[in-house]
Structure 1
Amino acid sequence: MFFIKGRLMFGLDARFLVITLLLIVVPIVIFCTNVARNVLHEFLTYNVVYVILAVTILFTIYVLVLLFLTSTRDPGIVPRNSHPLEEEICYNSSVPVDASGRHTPIPPLPRTKEVFVNGFSVTVKYCDTCQIYRPPRCLHCSVCDNCVERFDHHCHWLGQCIGLRNYRYFFLLVSSSALLCIFIFAMSALNIKFVMDDYGTLWKTMKESLASVILMVYSFIFFWFAGGLTCFHLYLIGRNQTTYEKCRRRADNMQNVYDRGCFGNFLEVFCTKTKSSRYNFQAYVQEETPMRI
């Protein structure tokens, strides 16, 4: 799906992005309108609470920007072949004839071919849907129905594939979300401490600061989700692997030909220039002339 004349591109299941957006925004609104207000009462003579509010709002905006950058950009889609190569042996009147008058058969197209990456031979497969030989580390996403360079996985929470052009933003989004969960958990726990100092008993404290209790439970659960993903992808980045390659090599025991060493792998992900899109989504569709056989 495209918006603003092709400047924004969403996946086919972009409706789930609304749920993700609510999971981020709603807890922050509850925190700012309830928890932060109670903390304001405790720090009435200080400006600490205003710093807490500013950090919360700025950090949330940063997470939302990363969410926007991850879910609205081309993940690295490889264009389809508009004139597919012949894959079957054809014998018909349109096929050229040789000197003896017999039709010349078109040789079958190989399903795989070998290319060299860092001095190692890598097998690339032919994609029947896109009618191309997939570049190394490219995979056809069954949800988006596109071949994506350096395909990591399809994220339903973002409604978008994670690939070559948005993996960096995806990792920053996940890791920043984990830090935001820690921050909300800590501030909610601080508020509960203040309330307990006033009421003395845990039960009365929970009744008076129900929002803080809910936010603590919520942020604790989602921290394990976001924090676990952060640790997993830190491991993958250090080894220069994708999620798909990690799962596949566990079964096939394949050699990683893309590993440049831990430091070099992190430089590749975070310090290299993002590759330009292979598509110009704002261009007009050109009418193609039929191929002559």
Structure 2
Amino acid sequence: MNNNTSNQNMVTPSPSIAASAEPPKTKRLYQVWPGNNKFLCGGRLVFGHDASSLFLTSFLIGGPAITFCIKMLVALKHGHPIASQPILIGAAVLTILDFIFLFLTSGRDPGIIPRNSRPPEDEAFDLSTPYLDWMSNKTPNVKIPRIKDVKVNGMTVKVKFCDTCLLYRPPRASHCSICNNCVQKFDHHCPWVGQCIGLRNYPFFILFISSSTLLCLYVFSFSWVNLVRQKGSLWFAMSHDFISVALIVYCFIAIWFVGGLTVFHLYLISTNQTTYENFRYRYDRKENPYRKGLVSNFKELSCARIPTSLVNFREWVAEEDDYQDESYRTYNSEFDKGFVNPKQKFDMEMGTMYGKDSMRVPNILKDLDYSGIDDNLKKKVGAKDGTFDIFVLADQDLKYSQWKPKIAPNANIGEIGKL
């Protein structure tokens, strides 16, 4: 009897509770990564957002190189005096090396910095925004983007808080708007390799453009020799060897691009700059905190060990857990709209919409219902034409107002405007 009574008193868990007790399903990190990267081989290969441009780049490199090799192979088969095995082998080796460096540049992590699911703790409790200040009867305080000063080789360098990755970017890091990642020692996003160029793939990028330049010079030189050594005049040789003429013209044009790019990056290496720093901070016109001297600058690139990736894209994560907390992301999106850029220039994280007097007004204030506010108060604090300014009300004492916002403790910040 007692056993039956005890069995009746037992509480059977509801299906929802039982389901929640089940272990969450897991996925690889690369499958839920919020950036715009493309992954292959189970997250082992990390490509940029525009990785499809590799097909065009491969065609522009491989087309002329393979054409030259085939021409040399045919000439060698027919016993042509200008053809030799070393020339053919040299062209093949340069072409293979060029493709290897292209793949190593495009298919590896350029130095992606892991994102935070929450901002730094000291910043999480200092979110002073216009609508929160107004609710607490304070003068609206519109902040500029948060910046910290750090010392690098005795010089002050400013680091900026990334509102997308929720972290302070390390010195020389920047956020790529195409791949949507913060990258260590960000140089630029190269559309030809379809990848960001950063700390972990910059050496391979230098080898790629250098080998491309050498390949162009190689094909150009031996194609010209092929014309000169033929019998008859130069014009006669050109009229009977269209392939060599086409290769000469193509390589002459390509050398101006890849050769000029190689020389430019050799200059950047000698001064220890990145492309981003050269265009943004103009370190060639002022003191560079990273410059160590010509020899040390080249040694830093050629002898330094490539650091390991900061992100393990193959690690297991819970399937229902987003990489960033969705509730904070909604809040943070409204929070970002309260910033004012001091230069009033386009910024990926900040946007470009401004209100009057260059003040950014959050969208949340535009959706508030003011019907509960006393009409006499509107006439008192507003203009004579009946207009109502939310920032005028912020300077008044709360005792004049009969309306108080009712916000649930767990309410989504995006729903406040609907109250």
TM-score in same-fold range (> 0.5)? yes
Aligned pair partner of 2:51 in 10, 14, 20 = 14
Structure 1 position 193, deviation (Å): 1.6
| Structure 2 Cα separation of the partners of residues 67 and 138 of structure 1 | 23
Contact 2:228 2:234 survives alignment (8 Å)? no
| Structure 2 Cα separation of the partners of residues 39 and 185 of structure 1 | 18
Q: Secondary structure at the match of 1:122?
A: strand
Structure 1 position 50, deviation (Å): 1.1
Cα deviation per residue 1:230-251 (whole Å; 9 max; x = unaligned)? 1111111011000111112339
Q: Which amino acid aligns with 1:256?
A: N
Aligned pair partner of 1:88 in 109, 127, 130 = 127
Q: Secondary structure at the match of 2:43?
A: coil
1:65 aligns with 2:97: no
| Structure 1 Cα separation of the partners of residues 228 and 76 of structure 2 | 10
Tell me the residue number matched to 2:85.
50
Counterparts of 1:108-127 in structure 2 under 5 Å? Answer: 111-127=146-162
Q: Secondary structure at the match of 1:267?
A: helix
Structure 1 position 11, deviation (Å): 0.4
Cα deviation per residue 1:252-280 (whole Å; 9 max; x = unaligned)? 95421011111111111110000111001
Q: Which amino acid aligns with 1:218?
A: Y
Contact 2:227 2:234 survives alignment (8 Å)? no
Tell me the residue number matched to 2:208.
173
1:148 aligns with 2:187: no
Contact 1:239 1:262 survives alignment (8 Å)? yes
Contact 1:39 1:191 survives alignment (8 Å)? no
Tell me the residue number matched to 2:198.
163
1:230 aligns with 2:262: yes
Structure 1 position 80, deviation (Å): 1.1
Cα deviation per residue 1:78-104 (whole Å; 9 max; x = unaligned)? 111112353524899xxxxxxxxxxxx
1:265 aligns with 2:300: no
Q: Which amino acid aligns with 1:208?
A: H
| Structure 2 Cα separation of the partners of residues 191 and 36 of structure 1 | 13
Tell me the residue number matched to 2:359.
none
**Percent identity between the aligned chains?**
48
| Structure 1 Cα separation of the partners of residues 44 and 169 of structure 2 | 25
Q: Secondary structure at the match of 1:250?
A: coil
| Structure 2 Cα separation of the partners of residues 50 and 35 of structure 1 | 9
Larger radius of gyration: 2
Aligned pair partner of 1:38 in 68, 75, 92 = 75
Tell me the residue number matched to 2:218.
183
**Structure 1: 5+ residue stretches without partners:** 93-107
| Structure 2 Cα separation of the partners of residues 28 and 252 of structure 1 | 37
Aligned pair partner of 1:240 in 257, 266, 272 = 272
**Structure 2: 5+ residue stretches without partners:** 1-37, 133-142, 329-409, 411-419
Q: Which amino acid aligns with 1:205?
A: A
Q: Secondary structure at the match of 1:77?
A: coil
Q: What is the TM-score with the length of structure 2 in the denominator? A: 0.61
Q: Which amino acid aligns with 2:264?
A: F
Contact 1:10 1:71 survives alignment (8 Å)? yes
| Structure 1 Cα separation of the partners of residues 249 and 72 of structure 2 | 14
| Structure 2 Cα separation of the partners of residues 75 and 182 of structure 1 | 29
- 147-156 vs 205-214, greater mean Cα deviation: 205-214
- 135-144 vs 77-86, greater mean Cα deviation: 77-86
Tell me the residue number matched to 2:114.
79
Q: Which amino acid aligns with 1:66?
A: F
| Structure 2 Cα separation of the partners of residues 210 and 38 of structure 1 | 15
1:284 aligns with 2:321: no
Structure 1 position 183, deviation (Å): 0.6
| Structure 1 Cα separation of the partners of residues 76 and 244 of structure 2 | 11
| Structure 2 Cα separation of the partners of residues 133 and 185 of structure 1 | 48
